[in-house]
Amino acid sequence: MDKPTLKECSACGGKISQHSLACPHCGHPQGSRVMLWVLGLFALLLIAFFVAFYCYCACLCK
């Protein structure tokens, strides 16, 4: 079995696994910024859906 590839934490310099989501030493997130953009876009689309649904229902009730 291969040894896990370690990298250096960008915040504290501690050695962490390449697959870690956060540094176990300082807690600094190590995830990709792409995932943050995807989650942000999903949240924005979800809010837009609820606003559109609310407006649609408000128009039907008049």
Structure tokens at 13: 């310099």
Domain ranges of the chain: 1-31, 32-62
Contacts of 56 (CB under 8 A, 6+ apart): none
pLDDT, residue 52, reads 93
- What Cα–Cα distance (Å) separates residue 24 from each residue in 20, 30, 43? 8, 10, 28
Q: Distance (Å, rounded) from C-alpha 59 to C-alpha 62?
A: 6
pLDDT, residue 62, reads 65
pLDDT, residue 2, reads 66
DSSP character string of 22-51? B-TTT--B---HHHHHHHHHHHHHHHHHHH
Per-residue pLDDT of the chain (62 residues; tens, 9 = 90+): 567 788 898 889 999 988 888 889 998 888 767 777 889 999 999 999 999 999 988 887 76
pLDDT, residue 46, reads 97
